[in-house]
């Protein structure tokens, strides 16, 4: 059985010795980009390799052209997956300390972008793992290199032209995944312009989680998204955020709800605002 959206800590703990399971630690913080790697070195789920948002999960920023966390070149990402030993039979599990939002969901989406569906976010993240009394370790076992060959699933992305084309289209829906404050241009901002893409509605990625930090049930999430989308099919829904990282949380939750795939606008707000002619609202 492949896990393709969310997986429980109990299941992962039972598979720690299975060489066909790969665990990735994606802990990260914007305030100190080296923090996650240091924490991984201090202790991680046994066998976990570190997936660094700043290096493994993002490509070079091109001034005036890209957002803050552009995707790496696809061949570069395939090389990373090869170095991690990913095969068609590998079950990948990814976790962070934010319920998936920083940056486990980004890893999940990037694996699926690369054609690998057997990837799941650890429900409740590292906090639930520790609360259950499960082990942590400092050792990282090497994995045998593979040659990852899957093709890019470009249909999972929305580029800026698609956003421009459909942001006001009644047959499509564009959602900002930041908080209500961020959507309205309030609170802490990483970008020099405040507000949201004109025509976008709000789908706070934090609404995917319950008070315990775990994903809401598939039934609850299905009702949540059905209310947000109305008659719009998920294939014509686009999610974005500030830099193209936390919006992936909505995409994991959508899959967990059994509603299929929406599109991810990786450039997000940080790319949209590079041209002052693009309309914004607050």
Angstrom distance (rounded) from CA 107 to CA 95: 9
Angstrom distance (rounded) from CA 9 to CA 176: 30
Angstrom distance (rounded) from CA 175 to CA 240: 6
**Catalytic residue status for 13:** no
CA 146 to each of CA 25, 83, 187: distance values in angstroms, whole numbers, following the listed order: 20, 7, 44
Angle at 112 between CA 80 and CA 219, to 5 degrees: 140
The residue annotated as part of the active site, out of 26, 119, 156, 241, is 241
User: b vs e for 22-53, b when ≥16 Cβ sit within 10 Å of the residue's Cβ?
Assistant: bbbbbbbbeeeeeebbebbeeebbbbbbbbbb
Neighbouring residues of 19: CB distance < 8 A, sequence distance ≥ 6 = none
Q: Given 3-state DSSP classes, what are the helix, strand and coil percentages for the chain, each rounded to the nearest 5?
A: 30, 15, 55
Write the secondary structure of 240-271 as one string of H (helix), E (strand) and C (coil).
ECCCCCCCHHHHHHHHHCCCCCCEECCCHHHH
**Which residues belong to the active site?**
241
């Amino acid at each position: 059985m492949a896990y393709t959206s969310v997986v429980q800590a109990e299941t992962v703990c039972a598979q720690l010795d299975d060489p066909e399971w790969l665990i990735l630690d994606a802990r990260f913080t914007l305030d100190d980009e080296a923090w996650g790697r240091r924490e991984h070195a201090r202790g991680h789920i046994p066998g976990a390799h570190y997936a660094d948002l700043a290096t493994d999960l993002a490509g070079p920023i091109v001034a005036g052209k890209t957002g803050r966390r552009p995707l790496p070149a696809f061949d570069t990402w395939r090389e990373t997956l090869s170095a991690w030993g990913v095969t068609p039979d590998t079950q990948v599990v990814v976790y962070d300390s934010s319920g998936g939002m920083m940056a486990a969901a980004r890893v999940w989406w990037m694996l699926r972008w690369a054609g690998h569906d057997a990837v799941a976010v650890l429900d409740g993240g590292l906090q639930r793992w520790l609360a259950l009394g499960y082990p942590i370790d400092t050792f990282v076992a090497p994995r045998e290199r593979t040659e990852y060959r899957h093709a890019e699933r470009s249909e999972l992305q929305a580029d800026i032209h698609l956003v421009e084309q459909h942001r006001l289209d009644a047959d499509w829906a564009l959602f900002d995944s930041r908080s209500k404050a961020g959507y309205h241009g309030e609170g802490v901002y990483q970008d020099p312009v405040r507000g949201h893409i004109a025509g976008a509605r709000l789908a706070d990625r934090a609404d995917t989680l319950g008070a315990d930090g775990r994903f809401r049930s598939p039934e609850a999430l299905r009702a949540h998204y059905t209310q947000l989308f109305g008659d719009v099919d998920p294939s014509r829904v686009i999610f974005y955020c500030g830099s193209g990282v936390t919006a992936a949380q909505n995409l994991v939750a959508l899959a967990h709800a059994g509603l299929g795939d929406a599109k991810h606008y990786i450039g997000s707000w940080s790319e949209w605002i590079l041209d002052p002619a693009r309309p914004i609202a607050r």
